[in-house]
């Protein structure tokens, strides 16, 4: 089968759906990391809280709470990395049984496409999961770096290195959190790409729903409104 013949096994609507999937993934990620000054994202607001956290850590004694927080974030990235690896293994196992998968799909009246179609659809899911896995692993490592930097912050607030090192720890923590959030978005769109098994219309619907959920959580959620509210007697 030539490349042209392989390309023709998909309809124009399939190509439109997959372009929409990748464009939605890239655009929502860019908008979250580069929000409008008039409408900040939850992710960017949390970055400011992380910087405030490290600033407060300098005078907090003991720092057991801070160490526990970093440990919790590392555990979260470890859990998702392990889960993603299991999902990748399942996808690779499906790649070796695409003929059987095609038969099951035909029995369920999903379609009678050749095995190549199912292989490509599974590969798209695996691409998103692999991207997520690498970012989870990197986030885990960065949270470890953050813990080391926090331990290097002097206990004396008057030390000239105290606040500069705390600021370094804050920026590493911010970078780790961004990597973790990008991994989560890739996981969400991996779930959306699974709907392609049901056809291009299902993929378009799945992509739209995923995009809408991410946008709402970052720009129109109840948690965002809470973060936007200043505590009483703090000024504007």
Average pLDDT over residues 53-80: 92
- Cβ atoms of residues 129 and 184 within 8 Å: no
Q: Give me the pLDDT at residue 3, please.
A: 55
- C-alpha 152/C-alpha 63 separation (Å) is 12
Q: Give me the pLDDT at residue 236, please.
A: 46
Residue 146 has pLDDT above 90, yes or no: yes
- C-alpha 64/C-alpha 58 separation (Å) is 12
Average pLDDT, the chain: 88
Phi/psi-derived region of residue 235, left when phi > 0, alpha when psi is between -120 and 50, beta in every other case: left
Q: Give me the pLDDT at residue 198, please.
A: 85
Residue 18 has pLDDT above 90, yes or no: yes
Q: Who has greater pLDDT, 212 or 60?
A: 212
pLDDT-derived band at 106, boundaries 50, 70, 90: low
Q: What is the pTM of this model?
A: 0.88
Q: Give me the pLDDT at residue 94, please.
A: 81
Average pLDDT over residues 53-72: 91
- For 232, which DSSP code? T
């Amino acid at each position: 089968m030539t490349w042209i013949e392989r390309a023709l096994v998909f309809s124009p609507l399939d190509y439109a759906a997959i372009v929409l999937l990748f464009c939605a993934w890239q655009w929502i990620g860019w908008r979250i990391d580069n929000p409008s000054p008039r409408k900040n994202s939850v992710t960017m607001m949390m970055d400011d809280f992380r910087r405030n956290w490290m600033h407060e850590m300098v005078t907090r004694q003991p720092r057991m709470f801070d160490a526990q927080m970093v440990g919790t974030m590392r555990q979260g990235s470890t859990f998702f990395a392990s889960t993603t690896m299991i999902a990748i293994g399942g996808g690779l196992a499906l790649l070796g049984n695409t003929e059987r998968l095609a038969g099951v799909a035909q029995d369920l009246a999903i379609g009678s496409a050749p095995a190549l179609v199912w292989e490509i659809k599974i590969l798209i899911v695996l691409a998103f999961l692999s991207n997520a896995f690498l970012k989870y692993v990197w986030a885990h490592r960065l949270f470890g770096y953050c813990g080391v930097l926090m331990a290097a912050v002097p206990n004396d607030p008057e030390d000239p290195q105290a606040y500069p090192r705390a600021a370094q720890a804050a920026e590493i923590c911010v970078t780790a959190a961004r990597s973790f959030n990008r991994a989560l978005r890739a996981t969400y769109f991996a779930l959306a790409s699974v709907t392609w098994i049901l056809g291009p219309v299902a993929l378009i619907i799945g992509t739209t729903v995923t995009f809408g959920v991410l946008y709402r959580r970052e720009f129109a959620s109840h948690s965002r409104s809470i973060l936007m509210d200043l505590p009483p007697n703090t000024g504007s």
